[in-house]
Amino acid sequence: MPQDLVHKRLTALLTAALLALLPLPVLAAAPLGLPEGWRLGDAPTTPDGKPRWAYRTPTDRKGTYLHGASGQIETASDWEETARRQGCVAGTGANAGWSPLPGREYWYYEADGEGLLLLRTHEFALDSKCKDVIRDTDTVERVLIGKNGFTRFTPGKPGWIAETHHFAAYRYAPGNDVMIGNGWPPLAYFAVRKRKLSDSNVGQKIGKAQTHCVGHSSPPDAGGVLCWLVGKGPGKGILTHDMELIAGGPNIYHDVSEIEDGVMLDGRLFEWDRPITPP
């Protein structure tokens, strides 16, 4: 065999052996996006529908994702009016009793003091035959979180409607901190953090995320539990569970079932003028 051919084959074998010793490149995980069924719209445009000048898709952000639910299904606010209008017989219709669905389900994304909340509300309503049905209403809310408070944004026509809230309205003495059994709107549970994370070192994990909890008991039939996220991630202090027991019946105001803290989030989620369509 010619010497130059032997040299080429040895070189190829040596190169292959060295490459086999190198670690395989780690492919970056796709950023976390919307839950199943929800859709992001097209890139924002100018008022006349043309592409924005020098538009660039926003970069992904490192933040926190939570999915949870709370409460029991309640009767829709328009139930009595609907019953009168349709001539429903008294005593029939909505029954806000047991249901396998919670009153509300939510998905929350937060990065750099900015949050996106997808909220699904389940209600008892009446159909055209005066029968009970469960009506789902999907809404999109946004929040900006500052040092002393937060501003909640709900959709307007057009634009957004802003409501500013001070943290002082949600924290109580002693300790200037949150308490058990708040019953807040969902967005407040994410914006208002637990301040004294060291109040407890006992809790459970939700996935890989560690929580700590405190509880109280007032025999014979009252008590409650409050839990929050701990660790080194950007979401530390976020409340993950708030339950109050009154007269033997639990009021579950807030219960997170899924957490990803320190995860990369799709940057397009934080484009306020990019439409988000529910299922």
Q: Compute, in degrees rounded to 10, the torsion defined by CA atoms 47, 51, 53, 54.
A: 140
The structural domain count of the chain equals 1
Cα 151 to Cα 233: distance, rounded to the nearest angstrom: 23
Strands (DSSP E) contained in the chain are: 39-40, 61-72, 74-75, 102-111, 114-126, 132-145, 149-155, 160-166, 205-206, 209-218, 222-229, 239-246, 249-265, 276-277
The Cα 124–Cα 135 span in angstroms is 6
Q: What is the pLDDT along the chain (279 residues), one digit of tens a residue?
A: 555 654 556 565 555 555 555 555 545 678 999 999 999 998 878 888 888 888 888 999 999 999 999 887 777 888 788 888 888 865 454 454 556 678 899 999 999 999 999 999 988 888 777 877 888 999 999 999 999 999 999 999 888 999 999 999 999 877 889 988 888 988 999 999 999 999 999 899 999 999 999 998 877 677 899 999 999 999 999 999 999 887 766 788 899 999 999 999 999 999 998 999 999
Indicate the DSSP class of residue 263.
Answer: E
- Residues spanned by the domain of 82: 3-277
